[in-house]
Chains A and B, each alone.
Chain A
Amino acid sequence: MRLIMRVALPAATQNLALAAPDFPVKWQAMLKQIGALNAEVREQGRQHFVLLDIDPVRITPTAEAVFHLAGVKPDFLPEIVPPPYYGVRN
């Protein structure tokens, strides 16, 4: 099922793992490993939203990968897709 994983990253000063120069590379590798369909960053990098399509049994292992890399526990939100609106004109 499609889910959005929300990861709230603290400031790098509070979490040494995030201050490591290779953290962005490791983060991207982790996203690839967990099969992220899309990833978006908000609030100057503090909030990461990762779109996933995984079975329920994969939720905890996916969160575990984030935890081991960044030291934070993500939460998950259902993906809400608005119904198509055919009246829209671009």
Chain B
Amino acid sequence: MTADAQSKNVTTDTLDMRRLLSPIGVELFFAEHWQSRMALLPLPADDLAFIRQAIGPLDPARLAGLAREESQAWLANDYVEHSVFPVNAANAVQFHKAGATLYFINVPLPTLTDGLADFLGAPRRQVIASLFYTPAGGGAVPHFDKNENFTIQVSGAKRWQVGQAPMVPFTPDSYTLGSPEITRALAPLLAKAQRPPEHTVELSPGTFFYVPRGTVHHTSAGEPSWSLNLSYTPTMWLDLLRVGLQERLTTSPRWRAIVTGAGGDPAARHANRLPELLAELRAMLEDPKEAEELTRAFFQRMNE
């Protein structure tokens, strides 16, 4: 690493997404890639070094101990259907020797996740870092995620086959192709979906790869591979409105009043306040200050 790069690492304390996306430019990223198609970029050596430093030693037992949500082993081969096992610091290495891909979910790496969340203007808590340790011959079966995924190949190599567009745009849930387990929200969207043609992408250390949610992908590693996944579990606009409005309207006695007069006795219909409440809501949503307040309340709630 050059002296310049070393000094940059010393002064850098968070992931600089603007710099990472500079080969295509952030404006183009949001205009042409965000939530619609993949983006593949080379990562400057000093940025890869910064990311490796943030992760620390690539030790399965250590990472299994750090993962906040769960550590999993994924096993699929000529004899085993895709199976998922919970693993811990004691047996993670055993599973890897058995040919499983290890998945360490939500490893606390705030220098990376906060940088991405702040760049996206997303609640910090919704962006998590996870690591995949794939053995030679391992990989993932075709599936799509409900998350926006940013992958950084840390070491080794991995081949990805990725849909040219999302199979289910803005999918509410993840799905493994062929699985009978389909959520109620996903079923009608999946029934209408067509699987788009795929690109083949070779990831080598220092590749930065964005895959939009709902995009089918499957992977295979010809050699042991470590990759970092920064994922944004989407908070949808409808979540913002639902949570923000709930917070805001709960303070109003008019909105806390009991639903009455939706039908019923003609006398009870006088107690139906819905028309005036809707007028109040309309006025509120048209006020930019109120919209800003809804967003602020939502972010506060999500980051609690």
Contact = CB atoms under 8 A, between A and B. Distances in A.
Contacts, number: 48
Given A56-B100, A60-B75, A73 B95 contact: no
Contacts of B77: 60
B82 A59 contact: no
A74 B81 contact: yes
Interface string B86-121: 100001001101111000000000000000000000
Contact of B83 (A1, A55, A57, A77): A77
B255 interface: no
Given A1-B91, A55-B94, A78-B86, A60 B81 contact: no
Given A1-B91, A76-B75, A60 B98 contact: yes
Contacts of A64: 79
Contact of B75 (A1, A55, A59): A59
A27 interface: no
B80 A63 contact: yes
B79 A63 contact: yes
Which residue of B73, B75, B83, B85 has the most chain A CB atoms within 10 A of its CB atom?
Answer: B83
Given A3-B85, A56-B91, A74 B80 contact: yes
A57 B75 contact: no
A1 B80 CA distance: 17
B85 A78 contact: yes
A45 to B, nearest CB: 19
Which residue of A56, A57, A59, A73 has the most chain B CB atoms within 10 A of its CB atom?
Answer: A56
B43 to A, nearest CB: 33
Contact of B98 (A56, A67, A73, A77): A56
B80 A56 contact: no
Given A56-B100, A57-B98, A78-B86, 6 more contacts: A56-B73, A56-B95, A60-B75, A63-B79, A73-B79, A78-B85
Q: Which 9 A-B pairs have the closest CB atoms?
A: A75-B81, A63-B79, A56-B98, A76-B83, A64-B79, A63-B80, A56-B94, A73-B81, A75-B83
5 contacts: A55-B94, A56-B94, A73-B79, A73-B81, A75-B81
